[in-house]
Amino acid sequence: MNPIADKDFFRGKPLQACIEYLEKLLTSSEEKEDTLPALNALIENLVETNRMFDIASIYIFLKSAAANGREIGFFYEHTNRILKRNINDLFTKSITYNNTELRETFSDILGTDTGRLMELVSFIFRKYRLFDMKFSDNIHKQLIKVAEKDIHSFIEHADSNFLAFYLSTLPELGFVSRDHIEHWIHIILYQIDGERYSQKILDAMQIHPSFNFLLIFMLSPREHDRFRALSMMKNALSQRRRDNSFRNIFIKNSPYFIKKAVVESAFYDFHEIPIAHKELFSQLVCFTDGKPVKEVIIPLLKTENPEKDQKITESKLAFVPAIACFADEFPDLRPLLTVILRDPAIEIEVKEAIRKIVYGTK
């Protein structure tokens, strides 16, 4: 039986017929290597005609045959190499398929070849920016392993589009260790010479924002990083008012970070930050469920300021518009504000701004 190396020979043929042809080739050929052109023609045909399920099926079949010592298992390693050459095209074509065998196939082909894996994901996100795509758990675990080996190198060499996908996906993976998340937090908040890394992270967030990470930047002692993150969140929330996924994450997690930054001044003195930052904090409060008004803003307004420090007064005034956002929605706010109006220690200009809310004047 002469091996056929024309890929068109396999066009339209059922997969089982193709496998039977390969089996007959092996039994009739003096040298097994003589059958490889036919295998290559078959795989090329399956790739060109987008027969994704057949590709996965034949791969899993050959892998099992090799593991069980069957003769046709000879084709397994060769099929692995052929598919690896086409992995970029195959992977992107398969994104719309939800198939366990396909995911196992890609995970197996990539194996521990981290360089090839990084090349693949960089290609995908540089060209297609497919932020909603799904990787198998094995591929995610490989990527995490690469990042953990040298997180700084990972950030430097990752394509910004891919980095955006990676960071937005991490919170959704149940097997990500707390230590891995803390590595990212350390770079954002604590690493003294980490500005170039935090900037790369923010570049990724600019492409595809992840509120789980942008919220951490609320606490950043780096003014430029903090301002970029605050601006991104405000813009994303403004543009996606009907996108509940963004707002739900923000509503759930933002009170903790707002309180840490404003009331506790955990990482910097809130009163000393630029007025533009304070105003962004205030604007972001308007996108919450109102919880920070009572937990953060009211305590801030009550802050003692015996020296009449203008920075403290400025902080209070910056949040008055946020109170106005919820004045009608939460009637119990007005009595709290009335108490502040009666406090002789509160600055006159702050009282005047609050009075306009309480009495509905302009």
Are residues 353 and 224 both part of a single domain?
yes
Average pLDDT over residues 91-105: 67
Long-range pairs for 332-336: beta carbons < 8 A, 24 or more residues apart = 333/293, 333/294, 334/358, 336/294, 336/298
Nearest to 190 by CA among 221, 214, 145: 221
pLDDT (0 to 100) of residue 362 = 46
Query: Does residue 184 register a pLDDT over 60?
Result: yes
Query: Does residue 308 register a pLDDT over 80?
Result: yes
Average pLDDT over residues 171-185: 91
Among residues of the chain, what percentage have pLDDT more than 70? 90
pLDDT (0 to 100) of residue 265 = 81
| Residue 159 Rama label (left phi>0; alpha psi -120 to 50; beta) | beta
Domain that holds residue 65: 1-110
Are residues 178 and 222 both part of a single domain?
no
* Residue 52 CA: distances (Å) to CA of 43, 92, 101, 102, 105: 11, 11, 10, 7, 10
Query: Does residue 97 register a pLDDT over 70?
Result: no
Residue 29 CA to residue 25 CA, distance in Å, equals: 6
Q: Are 361 and 327 in contact (CB under 8 A)?
A: no
Positive or negative, the CA dihedral 37, 42, 102, 92 is: positive
Average pLDDT over residues 125-133: 68
Average pLDDT for the chain: 86
Nearest to 90 by CA among 118, 139, 53, 40: 53
Q: What is the pLDDT of residues 233-292, one digit of tens each?
A: 999 998 865 456 778 889 999 999 999 999 888 789 999 999 999 999 999 999 999 999
pLDDT (0 to 100) of residue 72 = 92
Q: Are 222 and 187 in contact (CB under 8 A)?
A: no
Query: Does residue 1 register a pLDDT over 60?
Result: no
- Considering only residues 287 and 9, tell me which one the structure prediction assigns the higher pLDDT: 287
Are residues 120 and 149 both part of a single domain?
yes
Are residues 220 and 319 both part of a single domain?
yes
pLDDT (0 to 100) of residue 252 = 93
Are residues 102 and 122 both part of a single domain?
no
User: Which pTM value belongs to this model?
Assistant: 0.73
Are residues 89 and 106 both part of a single domain?
yes
- Give the number of domains in the chain: 3
Are residues 221 and 359 both part of a single domain?
yes
Are residues 135 and 64 both part of a single domain?
no
Q: Are 131 and 109 in contact (CB under 8 A)?
A: no
Residue 190 CA to residue 20 CA, distance in Å, equals: 61
Angle formed at CA 351 by CA 347 and CA 352, multiple of 5 degrees: 120
Are residues 240 and 360 both part of a single domain?
yes
Q: At what angle do helices 178-189 and 137-149 cross, to 10 degrees?
A: 50
pLDDT (0 to 100) of residue 107 = 75
Q: Are 103 and 91 in contact (CB under 8 A)?
A: no
Q: Are 294 and 331 in contact (CB under 8 A)?
A: no
Are residues 295 and 349 both part of a single domain?
yes
